[in-house]
Structure 1
Amino acid sequence: MENGFRAEEIDTGRPHPARIYDYLLGGKDNYEVDRKAADALAVAAPEVRIGVRANRAFMRRAVRHVVASGVRQVLDIGTGLPTSPNVHEIAQEVSADVRIAYVDNDPIVNTHANALLSRSAATSVVLADLRDPRAVLDHPEVRRVIDFDEPVALLLVAVLHFLTDAEKPAEVVATLRDALPKGSYVVLSHATGDFADRSDAQAVYNNATATLNLRSRSEVERLFDGFELEEPGLVQVPFWRPEAPVPPRSGEIGFYGGVARRG
């Protein structure tokens, strides 16, 4: 028994999005079932490997931006398996006093994060589910690190597309948004089928622990309601403030990303 769950309660018989993502990034914290799903995903969506790397690079640029803008707290929901550089490493390169709360609903992610991430008063690792945003906000380990009277950077990177429409992702984001004071930011990326038919890619997740729910640009943009998008707005992730020439085939990448401020 660890963190309130038993080892046999961890589902290793079905692919898990965090472990698929880990494999596509070249990580080793995954199972054969995850690798098979990721390989099938790469057949269905050949750009997926460059896409997840571009998404990760977007996250790095966005975190540096919000910390450089003065935010000193990060709430990273759907953090996934640790991949260096992790959010706290990126943020603390800009300012050493940044505090980070990592949240994920996968017990394996939670266990790896506790083992691998540097733990201090400035960092917490929380087992909780985005589908219950109030429980995330009220979790004592989130509250220990995050002061909701001061600006917070909310990270929702490549996670909301695992919520179905019935799970009301816009309402989830609104609940989180309403807990944030003025001057807070949201960093959000989301998979889309706008650039190619990706129904076969969606089907790969039908047997996974969460389905893949692709959304259009207008649908993703609505997730930013109550925030003010910063330039260049909502774009494919390689085109959000690139620091170098974008890689070949960037126009094929089915991830939108944006950074927005609560005014």
Structure 2
Amino acid sequence: MTTRTAFREPEDFTRSEGLRALLNRLHESGPGAWQSDPVAAELMIYAADKYGALARKHGLDPWEAASAAFDVMRTAAARTANDPWGVVTHAVRITCIAEERGQGLLCSVHQARRPHISAFHDAERLSDRENPLTDYHSAFHVTDPEPGGSEEPASTRACCSADSAVEDAIALFTLLGWPPHIARAGIEHVCQALARAGSRQSAYETLRRDKHARALLDVNRTAWAALLRALLGHPSPACAATAAGRGILLRLLIGESLRALLRDDDLVLMISLAAPKHGSR
């Protein structure tokens, strides 16, 4: 009597149907199936190649992405999904992002997945900055008392200086053709956003997409962009040390006068050309 062994054609795991069939077979085979099955080994090599670019994008090794894919493939969600590869790809992408955030935050991947932790910026060494700590940290910003012996608190003087800078900025825009109510409302809105953001770059990126403020002020995109660039400075790091990069508010705070700003031909031209007309959007 001759015994014939049924020949099973290997599943085409590059397609969703084949992957589902392979995952179900490995699951039904019990423990050790992933270690001994040759098709499973080919599947992991294929996964490392498939997600290699995604892994490198997040600073990881392709086999780290393949490991994440392996963890997902053993779940019921991947075996029962209409599109198993779609489930695996989505999970690998999330894991790669969490791995990158975990390395940057110096914490575990599990913690990096939590929104209240991933919201923080990456850890950085003090030596990684171009400027010394004393140049930018407020704890080291100490000024000696003025010779006149004024007892006015430093916070009050800073507030007065900021208020004066805002009023001078409003006067500059008004002199260059902006309606007073639009100039005041727009500049005060920018200053409030700057106080919340904590940095000019963050405030600029937030305000650049603030369509609600544009609608309330009734100004078009050109006028709004000119207002932000004039007040906060050009966002490019290459312009950071220039007058265009500092912006009106910083220039006024560090001692420049309104008369000096009016002698800046490029600034005057940008503000006057962008002055909103009545009813413009």
TM over 0.5: no
User: What TM-score results when the alignment is normalised by the length of structure 1?
Assistant: 0.29
User: What TM-score results when the alignment is normalised by the length of structure 2?
Assistant: 0.28
Report the structure, 1 or 2, having the larger helix content: 2
Greater Cα radius of gyration, structure 1 or 2: 2
Q: Which protein has greater RCO, CA pairs closer than 8 Å, 6+ apart?
A: 1
